[in-house]
Structure 1
Amino acid sequence: MHATQHIQQRMSQRGVSRDMVQLVLNHGRTEQDKYILGRKEASQRLGVIQRESRLLKKVLDKGGVVVIADGESLITTYNYVPKHGRPYQR
């Protein structure tokens, strides 16, 4: 989307960054020609990110995880071990 001079001025005046605008466009709800990310939606999104963060930390602790699939069927899973044979070290 093209950012007009007007929105650039308002962003500057109101302390709204480009990243904030992009977040609202990506995750906000739409009402006619408006994109809205209110407190409730922001809190729900933060909860999703925190849950994902916990899962990513568990994956890191394992050194990675591999899932083998065949078409739509999930076959097996195991901890990732790089080809050089040394697991991830923190």
Structure 2
Amino acid sequence: MLQFTRHALMRMNQRGITKDMVELALEYGSFVKDKVVLSRKELKKLLKKYPSLKSQLLKLFDSKGLVVVFEDNYIITVYKPKKGLIYG
């Protein structure tokens, strides 16, 4: 189980990102080196598959997705991808 660093919790609070959103990214996102990326493309698929999660998924979709950076068992930081930044 991953634990949140103090830094990650502060950034989540500043950026309006919830623990539930981070959990969605960790469960359904793609691993890219030391990050998990939940892209708009993946979010579109999830919206169709899980209508009960629509509210959270739409928030993530509007912000272009979510990136979770981790090391060992710690989530270091969480942020919304910059415009034009492509992971894959």
TM-score, scaled to structure 2: 0.55
Deviations 1:12-44 (A, max 9, x none): 000000000000000000001100101110011
**Off by >4 Å, runs of 4+ in structure 1:** none
Q: C-alpha displacement at 1:46, in angstroms? A: 1.1
Partner Cα distance (1:34, 1:46) in 2: 22
Q: Which ranges in structure 1 are unaligned for 5 or more consecutive residues?
A: 51-90
Q: 1:29-40 residue pairs with structure 2 within 5 A? A: 29-40=30-41
**Secondary structure of the structure 1 residue equivalent to 2:44:** helix
**Secondary structure of the structure 2 residue equivalent to 1:35:** strand
Partner Cα distance (2:9, 2:48) in 1: 30
Q: C-alpha displacement at 1:49, in angstroms? A: 1.8
Partner Cα distance (1:26, 1:33) in 2: 15
Structure 1 equivalent of residue 21 of structure 2: 20
Percent of residue pairs identical: 40
TM-score, scaled to structure 1: 0.53
1:10 equivalenced with 2:2 (yes/no): no
Structure 1 equivalent of residue 64 of structure 2: none
Give the AA of the match of 2:3: H
Question: How many residue pairs align between the two structures?
Answer: 50
**Secondary structure of the structure 2 residue equivalent to 1:16:** coil
Q: Which ranges in structure 2 are unaligned for 5 or more consecutive residues?
A: 52-88
RMSD: 0.8
Q: C-alpha displacement at 1:2, in angstroms? A: 1.0
In our comparison, the structure showing a higher alpha carbon Rg is 1
Give the AA of the match of 2:38: L
